[in-house]
A and B are shown apart, each in its own frame.
Chain A
């Protein structure tokens, strides 16, 4: 059973590695992405921010940041509930 799992995972990983050699975009050349050019050209004019990453994170793709903040808030709620100060036995 263990040998079967090992052979199966080796075949899957080997196949994926062989498929990776034929990747459409080589390393360092992401190809042409239409939204990419639009963001790089328009971020300074639209938002007056020099950092394009910040303008994408906080303005163009704001919903993702709201989701990230919600995830962080849920994590804080769970950590505080898990490690709260327990009632002492008297």
Chain B
């Protein structure tokens, strides 16, 4: 797939990074604001889809390494999540073992991002972002291999 026209690429350069920052913000503030791990990870994967649509497959596959998404991001998130779940095991599975006490919140009046809930949100966000990006990248790679065989010269989109 050839890259799209200059207008689309300029719009991508302007808005894609805000999309990434918004996704990370949704993941990190999942304990206090609407959103959480799954939603923020999906927004980060939308960023990858946006880059893939506007810049074409060959450039993206030369930019990123798929093993980052598959091996590092997804499995790190999953292992962190399960490890955090097992660390509360002396009391129970999924016990929140270092939450901030309620009295400290009443004294300071401020909610700190503590407890396993925030870290589990970040772990699930890492996992979902890696997983959905991996789906899109590997699907596009399989399609590109097919179309390389059949379509030799593809007409450009608008140039």
Find out whether A and B make contact in their complex, taking CB atoms under 8 A apart as touching.
yes
**What is A's interface to B at a CB cutoff of 8 Å?**
44-51, 53-55, 57-59, 62-63, 65-66, 68-69, 72-73, 75-76, 79-80, 82-86
Which residue of A48, A55, A62 is within 8 Å of B102 (Cβ)? A48
Within 8 Å CB of B145, what residues of A? 85-86
**A84, B127: Cα distance in complex, Å:** 20
In the bound complex, CA of A72 to CA of B31 (Å):
22
Known: A47-B99, A48-B105, A66-B82. Contact between A53 and B128, CB under 8 A?
A: no
User: How far does the Cβ of A52 sit from chain B's closest Cβ, in whole Å?
Assistant: 11
Contact of A48 among B115, B120, B135 (CB under 8 A): B115
A46-B99, A66-B82, A75-B131 given; name 5 further pairs at CB < 8 Å. Answer: A54-B31, A54-B117, A57-B36, A66-B85, A83-B142
Interface residues as binary, B130-152 with A (CB distance below 8 Å gives 1, 0 otherwise)? 01001100110110010000000
Against A, the Cβ 8 Å flags (1 = close, 0 = not) of B42-58 are 00000000000000000
Total of A-B residue pairs, C-beta within 8 Å: 102
Q: A75-B135, A83-B141 are in contact. Are A51 and B127 (CB under 8 A)?
A: no
Min CB gap B52→A, angstroms: 14
User: Smallest CB-CB separation from A88: which chain B residue?
Assistant: B145
What residues of chain B have their CB less than 8 Å away from a CB belonging to chain A? Answer: 30-38, 70, 74, 78, 81-82, 85, 93-94, 96, 99-100, 102, 105, 111-112, 114-118, 120-121, 124, 127-128, 131, 134-135, 138-139, 141-142, 145
CA A83 – CA B139 in complex, angstroms?
6
Also in contact, A48 and B94, with CB within 8 A (given A69-B127, A73-B74, A80-B134): no
Contact of A51 with B142 in the complex, beta carbons under 8 Å: no
Once A58-B120, A76-B70, A79-B134 are accepted as A-B contacts, the answer to whether A51 and B32 lie under 8 Å apart by CB is yes
Residue of A nearest to B66 (CB): A80
B-side contacts of A76, CB under 8 Å: 70, 74, 131, 134-135
Give bound CA distance, A58 to B128, whole Å: 14
Q: Is the CB of B121 within 8 A of A66?
A: no
Could you tell me if A85 and B111 are in contact, using CB atoms closer than 8 angstroms?
no
Taken together as a complex, chains A and B put the C-alpha atoms of A84 and B36 apart, in Å, by 31
Q: With A54-B117, A59-B116 known to touch, is A49 a contact of B74 (CB < 8 Å)?
A: no
